[in-house]
């Protein structure tokens, strides 16, 4: 189980966009794409077969997963994530929790 997954609200803790917050759009191995963070302009060639227009497009580029931390909504600060086993309905599930206060993420 990954500590940061798609849909998590994160804050950038290192790099040129330090302090910016956003939602994880995609996880690519050891990199994450965060909405509105690490934005770059790219030149796009037109492709009429696919209906793609040419020009300069704005694109979210990936960040190293080590440069982001999950945002704790209770404290509104960056937090570390732990994984623990919780039993419910006779089944054991792995859940993520905030290290600072122990509350379960997404519950």
Q: Does residue 1 have a pLDDT over 80?
A: no
In tens, the pLDDT along 28-52 reads 999 999 999 999 999 999 999 999 9
CATH code: domain 9-78 is 2.30.30.30
CB 65 within 8 A of CB 31: yes
Instruction: Give tens-digit pLDDT for 63-92.
Output: 999 999 999 999 999 999 999 999 988 899
DSSP state of 35: T
pLDDT tens per residue, range 7-24: 999 999 999 999 999 999
Domain map (residue ranges) of the chain: 9-78
């Amino acid at each position: 189980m990954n500590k940061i997954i798609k849909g998590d609200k994160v804050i950038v803790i290192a790099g040129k966009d330090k302090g910016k917050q956003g939602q994880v759009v995609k996880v690519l191995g050891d990199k994450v794409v965060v909405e509105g963070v690490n934005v770059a302009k790219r030149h796009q060639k037109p492709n009429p077969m696919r209906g793609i227009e040419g020009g300069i497009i704005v694109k979210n580029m990936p960040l190293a997963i080590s440069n982001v931390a999950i945002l704790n909504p209770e404290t509104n600060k960056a937090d570390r994530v732990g994984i623990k086993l919780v039993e419910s309905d006779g089944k054991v599930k792995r859940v993520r929790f905030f290290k600072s206060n122990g509350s379960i993420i997404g519950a």
